[in-house]
Every structure is written in structure tokens, then in C-alpha cells.
Amino acid sequence: MLFRSKITNPKDYLVTHSKEKEALVSFTISSILDKMSQSATNEVGSRLYAKHHCYFSDCLKHPEYLREVLTEIFGNGAKIVMNEIRQNLEEFDDQHPISHFLAVLSK
């Protein structure tokens, strides 16, 4: 009970911790790609690692890597994927790391 704090809004807790933000972005990316196909998720993940030695969770700090890989794989269709990611994260766009991530995807 000594360290217990009252969390009135789970969203506030989630977006105040960087690991949770990375997990949120990673989950969002993989969920959207999984809706397309498991092979799409695997290909994007594999290419991110091959080119930039990063995982989906690293895309919060380096959204340009995700944008580049999505464009290489999907061409103009990457805009649809990036738009889905934006829509899923828009309620968190008032938080700096996520707002930066979304801004880079929107370029």
C-alpha cells in the first residue's frame, strides 16, 4: 500500500512510460499488418531488422525506418497502412513521442 498510487485514467498511465509507448506502437503496427496477412507482418519485421537492425518497438524512435520499409514493400499502398496506424494511435497524438511518430508517418 505504501507505493500504491491512484490511476484515474489508464490512458494517462500508459502514455507516461516509454516502454509502454513502445509496446503500444509495436502492437498497433503488428495488429494492422496481421489484418493483411501474417506474411506481411513477417516481411515488414524482417526487412526492418535487415536494413536497420530494429524491431517494431524501435519504430517509435525511428518512424522513418517504418515509413521507408512500408513504401518499399507496398508502394502507394503504404499510405493505406500508415493511415490505419495513424487512426489507431490518434487518441494518443497529444503525447510527444507518439505525435512525432505520427507526424513522420504523415509526411
Contacts for 19 with CB less than 8 Å, ≥ 6 apart: none
> Of 11 and 54, which is predicted with more confidence?
54
> Of 37 and 15, which is predicted with more confidence?
37
Residue 107 — very low, low, confident or very high, per pLDDT cuts 50/70/90? confident
**Amino acid at site 101:** F
Provide the whole-model pTM. Answer: 0.82
- pLDDT in the model for residue 43: 98
Segment 27-37 mean pLDDT: 97
Contacts for 46 with CB less than 8 Å, ≥ 6 apart: none
Cα 95 from Cα 92, distance rounded (Å): 6
Residue 1 — very low, low, confident or very high, per pLDDT cuts 50/70/90? very low
DSSP strands (E only) in 1-107: none
